[in-house]
Amino acid sequence: MSQIDAVTARVGQPLAPIGLTPEALFEKCNALARNLWWSWQPEVINLFRDLDPIRWRQLDHNPIALLSEFTPERLEMRAAELVLFSRINHAYRRLKEYMSGPPTWGRTHVGVLGSRPVAYFSWEFGVHESVPIYSGGLGVLSGDHIKSASGLGVPLVAVGLFYDQGYFKQHLDIDGYQGEEYLNTKVENLPMEPARGPDGKPITVHIETRKSPLMAKVWLMRVGRVPLYLLDCDVKENRPEDRELTARLYGGDNRTRIRQELVAGVGGVRALKALGISPGVCHLNEGHSAFATLEAIREQMKDDGKSFDDALRDVARHTAFTTHTPVPAGHDRFDGGLIEEHLGPLRDELGISFEQLMGLGRVEPQNEHEPFCMTVLGLKLSRRANAVSSLHGHVSRRMWAHLWPWRVEEEIPIGHITNGVHVKSWLSHQMQQLYDRQFPADWTTRMGEPEVWQDIYRIDPGELWETHNTLKNLLLAFVRRRVSRQCRRRGESDEAVEAARNMLDPNVLTIGFGRRFATYKRADLIMTDMDRLTAMVADAKRPLQLLFAGKAHPADEPGKQLIKRIANLRHDPRFTGRIVFVEDYDINVCRHLIQGVDVWLNNPRRPLEASGTSGQKAVLNGALNLSVLDGWWAEAYDGANGFAIGKGTQHVNDAITDARDAQELYRVLEQEVIPLYYDRDIDGLPQHWIRRMMNSISSLAWRFSADRMVADYVRSAYLPAAGGLSCDMSVR
């Protein structure tokens, strides 16, 4: 008998409210679990957690998996013990109201999008940790984008791939070396169902190639009001190797990649058509899905009898393209052989030559040595292109200037819309309750407005500090739990496990660093001078502790060595219990870190961080950013809302840049961050630090919210594209 059953047995048969059968109650819980709306509702999350807190954690916070362990009768008993009936009813009613569409921003701002929605294509979607079809920043951005589109009431449908093994789980071995484990996701535990066409039948899409055809089925996942359609090649009609095609995100070679991109782009457009959806705007979030444009051209030629050139012009007018990659090598490129094998049949229907097709993906169309680049295709076939921060806009215009050789750099038609984060997903419940007390009553529907956040200064500094420290304690408990489990799994001694259970001190300034372990992000910058780091960490009066997390791409050996170096610092007596590596960075680990740290550290080699969003999540919860002036921080930092490393200068080579940035990092820590944190008044409050937390929240939370971002996309990309206006996006 489980603990819960034992409790239930003691309480005896509970009485449900009249008219609510166990089955009806169960149905309501299932309805809540089957729309990812729940994932940004603290009350619904708490409801699921309360049903069985231990299993909830063990099941990766997956409510469908949790409910599958209940019968309606057992659920009813549990609900009775905890008096959950009214909470379940209330949550269910709120979901119904949300879905039936209360007045939203969208009602008055989306104009022509109302009749034909935006189709948003992305390679990964990071909506919640229990839906593992994302790896990192790009996915979480897409997830946040569609959540805000849902909240604002922007008519939008999202399209991507379903990866049934997702991205890998990270475990470090005893030497600190990263191991990768791929788990098969149980489809029945995910909030998705076969997508059905107007005739009610599940749809599949077919794609011819020169060698063998590909098929994909289509899933529907509900993310609030936004339907997310996911294509999946695991169908019996496919050849065995093709059934695995969409198994892994970022797995396989270039041939796997182009086949996946064929399914996402061409397959994605066909899926929408089969669903009876005709989008008015196509938004390609990064180049992976850019083949969608070719299929859209084919559709117009076939359905409307247009010429290739006319159809191309029309598709481009209705397409918006977002680039995310500031390094030339980071863009997908394919050789002519792969392109012809996979796009040959489509090319036949378009009536264009191989050279013409290749030209669409080349900077110099006639250059036979140039491969086909997806970003070039995206830029050529969209009339509106944007980078994801102001600085990234400059970098992108310079990088692609040769596509428009007749223009000066400032006139290259790539603008920027800076990334933002979905506030309700990243703001802790505790902070939200604090804000609820001082902010305008309707603030959660106006989070993209600056005025709303000015009320942060009305909050009592002591209360803000106390709330922050509550969250910090939760984070430290989470890390201790995780790390002691890691030690046990690796078969370490009982002393090691016990030490992990007792490490970390809530009174110590805590710095967090969580991100992909790509070498340009320089996780080890702070280890440039170990003596200086030791002096700070072990300072008797004003010590420091550091939390690290992040995955390296399976093929990135230098990234893995970096993880190993940092993870192994735990054996160094100078750092034991003060520098900690938390395994398996994902949305859950990220959420804990950004909600609980004092300082969020970001020190990439400028200008390689296109935007970055984790620091924006930290802002919402009162953490202060300590960052190189790169990506979003280059436009966010104002001298009083966080800390800057360096002045945004670039040096002649990486070695000099790294050395200078390390010096700057130490200087800021020693002279600004540490003194400010430990400067306490007679009540023990760091008044100047708290002031800076308030400055950070008031000046940044609204600007770097996904609501502001999506509203910007509506105004400067979607609406002009829907109207077919051919002016370029303004370069701001």
Ligand X SMILES: *Cc1c(COP(=O)(O)O)cnc(C)c1O
Residue ranges in contact with ligand X by CB under 6 A: 136-137, 140, 515, 585-587, 590, 612-615, 617
Least distance to ligand X, CB of residue 249, Å: 13
Least distance to ligand X, CB of residue 512, Å: 11
How far apart CA 197 and CA 544 sit, in angstroms, is 58
How far apart CA 394 and CA 300 sit, in angstroms, is 35
Return the number of the residue (231 or 475) whose C-beta is nearest ligand X. Answer: 475
- Select from 222, 212, 215, 176 the least CA-distant residue to 30: 222
Least distance to ligand X, CB of residue 571, Å: 27
Least distance to ligand X, CB of residue 514, Å: 7
How far apart CA 417 and CA 407 sit, in angstroms, is 22
Least distance to ligand X, CB of residue 590, Å: 3
Write the CA distances from 106 to 12, 36, 112, 421, 705, integer angstroms.
Answer: 50, 20, 11, 18, 16
Return the number of the residue (138 or 161) whose C-beta is nearest ligand X. Answer: 138
Return the number of the residue (136 or 151) whose C-beta is nearest ligand X. Answer: 136
Least distance to ligand X, CB of residue 502, Å: 28
How far apart CA 267 and CA 256 sit, in angstroms, is 15
Least distance to ligand X, CB of residue 392, Å: 12
Return the number of the residue (273 or 605) whose C-beta is nearest ligand X. Answer: 605
Q: Is 176 left (phi over 0), alpha (psi -120 to 50) or beta?
A: left
Beta-carbon contacts of 645 under 8 Å, excluding residues fewer than 6 positions away, are 603, 626, 627, 628, 629, 661, 664, 665, 668
Return the number of the residue (144 or 341) whose C-beta is nearest ligand X. Answer: 144
Return the number of the residue (159 or 601) whose C-beta is nearest ligand X. Answer: 601
Write the CA distances from 320 to 118, 121, 281, 573, 578, integer angstroms.
Answer: 10, 10, 7, 54, 46
The string of DSSP letters for 488-550 reads HHTT--HHHHHHHHH---TTSEEEEEES---GGG-TTGGGSSHHHHHHHHT-SSS-EEEEEE-
Least distance to ligand X, CB of residue 568, Å: 23
Other Cβ atoms within 10 Å of 8 Cβ, number? 20
Least distance to ligand X, CB of residue 395, Å: 16
Token readout for 208 is 């011819």
Return the number of the residue (227 or 420) whose C-beta is nearest ligand X. Answer: 420
Write the CA distances from 632 to 393, 537, 616, 636, 698, integer angstroms.
Answer: 11, 29, 9, 6, 16
Return the number of the residue (293 or 613) whose C-beta is nearest ligand X. Answer: 613
Can you tell me whether residue 271 is helix, strand or coil?
Answer: helix
Question: For the chain, what is the largest distance between any 2 Cα atoms, rounded to a whole number of angstroms?
Answer: 81
Return the number of the residue (142 or 695) whose C-beta is nearest ligand X. Answer: 142
Strands 643-645 and 624-628: parallel
Strand partners, 302: none
Which residue, chain included where needed, has tokens 């600190």? 176
Return the number of the residue (137 or 415) whose C-beta is nearest ligand X. Answer: 137
| N residues, the chain | 732
Angle between helices 292-304 and 336-350 (to 10 degrees): 20
Least distance to ligand X, CB of residue 614, Å: 3
Least distance to ligand X, CB of residue 275, Å: 30
Q: How far is CA 99 from the centre of its chain?
A: 23
Return the number of the residue (279 or 615) whose C-beta is nearest ligand X. Answer: 615
